[in-house]
A = this chain, B = another copy of it.
Amino acid sequence: MKAVKESYKHFSKSYLFTEIEARVVKSGSLDLVSLGVGDVSLPLAPSVKNAIIEAVEEMGTRPIGYGPTDGYPFLKKALLETEYAPYNFTLEEISINDGISSAITTMTSLFPKDYKIGIIDPAYPAYQNAARLEEREITLLPCLEENGFIPQPPKEKLDIVYLCSPHNPTGTAMTKDDLQMWVDYARAHKAILFFDAAYHAFIQSPSVPTSIYACTGAKEVAIEFRSFSKSAGFTGLRLGYVVTPKELAISSFWRLRQDVYSNGFAYPVQKGALQALSPLGKEETRAQVESYLQGAKVLKETLEAKGFLVYGGEDIPFLWWKVGGDSWQAFDTLLHKYGLITVPGKGFGPSGEGFIRLSAFLSPAKLEKALSRLETVTQGVL
């Protein structure tokens, strides 16, 4: 047996979703409704499914081998034309990957070990877990009720800052002014922003831009990560993309990293993503997006009618439910007493304590069941 790195050896065993899964299994209950992991619960859109099948059929008639390690040009081109039309990016500035999780955690590998990393708190746990495994210096940027869950630039100089808007888990979205504040900070301090835009497709508020490149000077400082997971229900297929503007001069290094560490991404999945960007695909997936947001609205109204304080849910189907004290205890109560799987805010970082995240990525049937259970939750029990 060979010793592993200290950072691995001493990593806390309780990875959030693993811990939740363990508590769920231990509960022994079979009749649970999950408002936990933000996973899609509607099937693939018909035209997207058909496009994937067509590509697999094609692979059955002619060999389709290794694709480009930064994705097929057909998909990159479609992304530039549909998602990034206002920003005039070139094919060299966008690359495909197998999802934000892997891209946003490995993008740091391009940068020196002593770069100071700022990470919003609470946040998707992988940002911090990856930085911890790499023994990097981390500064947490609190997103609290007091600041409207909008992280504020610190006085000190950070080199890399992880931002996410609309924000998983607090359900709050940053306005253009909020984002511009960070772009200005980054320009002043020569920092890079890792902007996680996983939920861009859900944005409804006119003041919230769907891309950080709507901000002045953002191309000089921001890398934007997006995915088909939430916008087109690709969680079980794995596909994302990242924009590395030429002003940052890192595209060739990211391409080098991908050339060395990976070997491209599934052809049929890229064909499905292409279809998701077509007018019909957009129409179908927009209907799914609206269904999830409608669910968030009803969930929020139900809890508010019972006197609870609930944030978010307008530009992202996550609710941030203020429960006061120990969020793991509230999680346990909701699990054991109400048969509901949720996520304790503390699992997303210390600033998440006192809150519960509810995911509204629900099918209509699951939503109804969840609502009837939430109806019975009384003030003071959590």
Q: Name A residues whose Cβ lies closer than 8 Å to a Cβ of B.
A: 1-6, 8-9, 11, 15, 18, 37, 39-44, 46, 49, 52-53, 56-57, 59-67, 98-99, 101-102, 105-106, 109-113, 126, 129-130, 133, 159, 190-192, 220, 229, 233, 235-238, 247-250, 253, 256-257, 259-269, 363
Contacts and interface: CB of A to CB of B under 8 A. Distances in A.
A39 B53 contact: no
Chain A interface main SS type: loop
A4 B111 contact: yes
A126 B56 contact: no
Contacts of A253: 4, 8-9
10 contacts: A1-B248, A5-B111, A8-B110, A15-B259, A43-B60, A52-B268, A53-B57, A67-B236, A101-B261, A133-B257
Given A101-B261, A111-B2, A261-B130, A46 B60 contact: yes
Contacts of A53: 53, 56-57
A259 B18 contact: yes
Contacts of A257: 8, 133
A256 B11 contact: yes
Given A4-B111, A53-B57, A110-B5, A43 B63 contact: yes
A18 B9 CA distance: 38
